[in-house]
Amino acid sequence: MLNLSQNGCSVWVASATEGLLTPTAVALGKFDGVHLGHQRVIQPVLPPARKQDHQRAWGADERNLLELSPADCTTPAPQPINPTASTPEHIYSTVVTFHPHPQEFFSGQPRALLTPLDEKVEQLRSLGIEQLVLLPFDKELSALSPEEFVEKILVQQLRCQQLSVGQDFCFGKQRTGTARDLQLLAAKYQIPVTIVTLEKYAGQAELPEYSDCVSISPTSDLPISTSLIRQTLEQGDVKNANLLLGRPYTLFGVVIQGQQLGRKIGFPTANLQLPKDKFLPCNGVYAVRVFFVDQTPDPANPLLGVMNIGNRPTVAGTDTSVEVHLFDWYEDLYGQKLAVQLVQFLRPEHKFSSLEALKTQIQVDCTIAKQVLLSK
């Protein structure tokens, strides 16, 4: 079990169902992205103080969602329960999810994630969650019937006192259990279950006219989902992806040494090494805001720049790379961990006839990016 702390706040991360902090109030699901719909499912199991903060945040103007950053955590680090104390047991707000992702288990293929583990932990910490349990999704777990899952996992191991799930939640062998089934089964153990109605998305995709990404043109009232966010990012529709998430989609990576081709044409870039399971949006050029992860972020003073995701066809590149050019920055970045927030997709990746033509286009990209970033 790991205790990942930041600014005095902790999320206990368990890779198995041993040594857990119990009893628990559990939000159950996959939670890749920790998007607005997921946050609705998590809200009922938050500690009372954080639940009130969360409810107030949902009343804010949606236009402010793009500027949200993780809030300072006010929940104290969880302490072991003292069985001799006369005060009531603390019920730990807990997110229970699966590792590996069930789709990865059944397909045998790695699955890229909107929020790899470190990111998921940080997002849950910012919401006020005290514990993340990663159930090992294996042959044994996938074979449990809905009744066995409730009894063995939720009751015996997690000592669950309260549950929250989305209305589309399915569980048990061959996904035969529904949210309503969970409610009925849990009632036998006096465990109340909140079934959360799916959060709806009423936006429209607004892709650049010159984008060659495939548009899905979502219609109104689509449920907010991880798959919808992945589709919008595959199109370069950063605006709607950020609205669905409730925050900017962000790439976290360490700056490593590249081929230094950008420096040769006057546009030095930071080559980012990302987690292997991080989901990447479509190839192309983006306007971005950048923060140093190891420093206290100042949302009012980000670094501004452009980012390219792609294979660098102009210089016969083959592997996908993520490179960021920061405006008016001349210091060494090697070894620094950066958080790169996507603001707007500018154009698809192209193969240019020469390095000079590429240089000219990058100059245009930088001009457009500055206009975009300074206007938001």
Amino acid at 25: A
Q: 44, 6, 10, 39: which is closest to 25 by C-alpha? A: 44
Question: What is the rounded CA–CA span in Å between residue 134 and residue 16?
Answer: 6
Question: Which of 259, 330, 341 shows the shortest CA–CA distance to 292?
Answer: 341
Q: Which residues contact 131 (CB under 8 A, 6 or more apart)?
A: 11, 12, 13, 14, 20, 21, 24, 78, 92, 93, 94, 95
- Residue identified by tokens 């074979």 is 143
Of the residues 206, 323, 331, 349, only one is catalytic, namely 323
Q: For the chain, how big is the Rg over CA atoms in Å? A: 22
> Does residue 147 carry a catalytic annotation?
no
Catalytic residues: 323
